[in-house]
């Protein structure tokens, strides 16, 4: 009978632990659809949303990552903890996985008859309303990924709430107090936003929150295994190359913009470190080879005991493996990429590189830069500063 008592004890402990883990937060919850862009944009928005949830003192419901696969009409929703751990985030603020919230708390906290979508102002529908075409509406589920995102958790909305002129900048105003006064937790237990309650690119004040975003054991170990088993012993340089056709088209907006995507990460949020120029977005192959060689030579001179032995390349299109291999052949440096595309594993590996060169405009590169900043690892950007300006500064002092 001793074993039976032990079994009952273990089951009771598990139940108590589960109940405590999913105890209702009297301060309310915040959930949103990460419906703008791919991972880099979603990561920027996540950091801002995390800061916003903390300022409002509401538990952040961790949304899945929205992914788009070739040949599929609807987006896929990948659970947050597939790529990142939940526990480190708890050190900063209360969070809960969306699947856990919907399974254990939603029926009580957010019953189906009380689910309201939040948007700044009316969002026009792609389809005519069946009931009242003239009624203002957030149309929270209209289009992709909006519909597939909420459908993943069988969420429908019974009404819309327009929160304008409230905004999300909790660092430079008393807006958090206004949110709390306008939407009390007892009347509005869940604030469900049609888009992220955050700015893009990520606010300067929120960049440091990257330190709470830790890779899941699966990706952390996969990155270590690749580095250990594929790359030669010694230091390696990680490169991020953006050169796909969609990026070429995006770079055409340089001439009409002061900032573009993640460009504040190198130009500064007020352009205090310069203006946009074409090479910053799309460096030539010659410039890429030239800058890579320059950094490798500089490392060899300044850190002879940590000599660069290999280069790892992540890219959305052309990895330039043959061009880089030929350029570095006399330096006895090998060039590598993943055998199969995995942008998340690319990120995890780039974050661990001894030196990193990324694209200033890319939010994907920005994710790597922020992660490396938390560890004090050196990072550089393609064609920054400009060639003439670079001559007056040492390459390793660029950032």
- Structural domain boundaries in the chain: 17-205, 216-397
- When the candidates are 3.40.50.11340, 3.20.20.70, 3.30.499.10, 3.30.70.20, the CATH number that belongs to 17-205 is 3.40.50.11340
Percentage of residues in the chain having pLDDT higher than 90: 84
pLDDT, position 290: 97
**Average of pLDDT values for 376-384?**
97
Describe the crossing of helices 39-56 and 175-182 by its angle, rounded to 10 degrees: 70
Residue range 324-348: average pLDDT? 97
pLDDT of residue 14 exceeding 80, the answer is no
pLDDT tens-place string over residues 30-65: 999 999 999 999 999 999 999 999 999 999 999 999
Q: What's the token pair of residue 243?
A: 């050169």
pLDDT in tens, 257-274: 999 999 999 999 999 999
As beta bridge partners, residue 384 has 381
8 A C-beta contact, residue 292 and residue 217? no
> For residues 369 and 358, is the Cβ–Cβ distance under 8 A?
yes
Instruction: Select from 362, 354, 363, 368 the least CA-distant residue to 382.
Output: 362
Contacts of 308 (CB under 8 A, 6+ apart): 234, 235, 236, 237, 296, 299, 300, 333, 354, 355
User: Is the pLDDT at 17 greater than 60, yes or no?
Assistant: no
Q: Which residues make Cβ contacts (< 8 Å) with residue 204, sequence separation at least 6? A: 264, 269
Residue 15, pLDDT score: 44
Looking at residue 306, its pLDDT comes to: 86
Give, in order, the Cα–Cα distances in Å from 318 to each of 27, 62, 346, 396.
49, 34, 14, 26
Helix (H, G, I), strand (E, B) or coil at 127: coil
Nearest in space to 111 (alpha carbons), one of 34, 24, 33: 24
Provide the 3-class DSSP secondary structure of residue 381: strand
Is the bond preceding 131 in cis, omega lying within 30 degrees of 0?
no
As beta bridge partners, residue 77 has 66
The span from the CA of 323 to the CA of 42, in Å, is 32
Please tell me if the domain spanning 17-205 has the same topology as the one spanning 216-397.
Answer: yes
For 388, the token pair is 């003439």
| The pLDDT of residue 110 is above 80 | yes
pLDDT of residue 134: 65
pLDDT in tens, 236-264: 999 999 999 999 999 999 999 999 999 99
Q: Which pLDDT value is given to residue 399?
A: 41
26: exposed, middle or buried (Cβ count in 10 Å: 0-12, 13-18, 19+): exposed
What's the chain's average pLDDT? 92
Instruction: Kindly tell me if the per-residue pLDDT of 72 is higher than 60.
Output: yes
pLDDT at 11: 53
**C-alpha separations of 154 from 36, 68, 123, 240 in Å:** 21, 20, 21, 38
Domain topology for 216-397: Rossmann fold (3.40.50)
pLDDT of residue 262: 98
Assigned token pair, 138: 């957030």
């Amino acid at each position: 009978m001793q074993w039976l008592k032990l079994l009952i004890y273990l089951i009771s402990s598990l139940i108590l632990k589960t109940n405590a883990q999913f105890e209702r937060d009297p301060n309310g919850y915040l959930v949103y659809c990460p419906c703008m862009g791919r991972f880099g944009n979603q990561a920027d928005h996540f950091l801002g949303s995390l800061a916003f949830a903390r300022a409002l003192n509401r538990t952040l419901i961790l949304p899945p990552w929205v992914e788009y696969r070739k040949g599929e009409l609807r987006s896929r929703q990948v659970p947050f903890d597939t790529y990142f751990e939940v526990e480190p985030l708890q050190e900063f603020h209360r969070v809960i996985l969306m699947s856990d919230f919907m399974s254990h708390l939603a029926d009580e906290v957010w019953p189906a008859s009380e689910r309201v979508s939040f948007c700044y102002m009316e969002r026009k529908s792609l389809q005519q309303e069946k009931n009242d075409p003239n009624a203002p509406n957030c149309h929270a589920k209209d289009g992709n990924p909006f519909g597939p995102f909420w459908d993943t958790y069988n969420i429908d909305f019974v009404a819309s709430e327009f929160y304008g002129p409230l905004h999300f900048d909790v660092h430079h105003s008393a807006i958090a107090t206004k949110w709390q006064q306008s939407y009390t937790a007892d009347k509005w237990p869940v604030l469900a936003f049609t888009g992220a309650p955050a700015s893009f690119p990520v606010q300067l004040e929120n960049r440091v929150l990257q330190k709470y975003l830790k890779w899941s054991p699966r990706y952390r170990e996969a990155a270590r295994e690749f580095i250990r088993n594929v790359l030669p012993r010694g230091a390696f340089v990680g490169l991020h190359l953006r050169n796909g056709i969609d990026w070429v088209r995006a770079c055409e907006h340089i001439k009409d913009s002061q900032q573009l995507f993640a460009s504040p990460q190198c130009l500064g949020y007020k352009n205090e470190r310069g203006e946009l120029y074409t090479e910053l977005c799309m460096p030539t192959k010659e410039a890429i080879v030239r800058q890579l060689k320059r950094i490798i030579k500089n490392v060899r001179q300044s850190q002879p005991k940590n000599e660069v032995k290999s280069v790892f390349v992540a890219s959305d299109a052309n990895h330039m493996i043959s061009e880089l291999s030929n350029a570095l052949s006399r330096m006895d440096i090998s060039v590598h990429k993943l055998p199969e595309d995995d942008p998340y594993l690319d990120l995890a590996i780039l974050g661990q590189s001894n030196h990193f060169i990324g694209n200033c405009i890319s939010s994907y590169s920005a994710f790597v830069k922020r992660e490396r900043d938390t560890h004090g690892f050196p990072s550089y950007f393609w064609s920054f500063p400009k060639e003439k300006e670079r001559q007056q500064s040492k390459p390793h002092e660029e950032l």
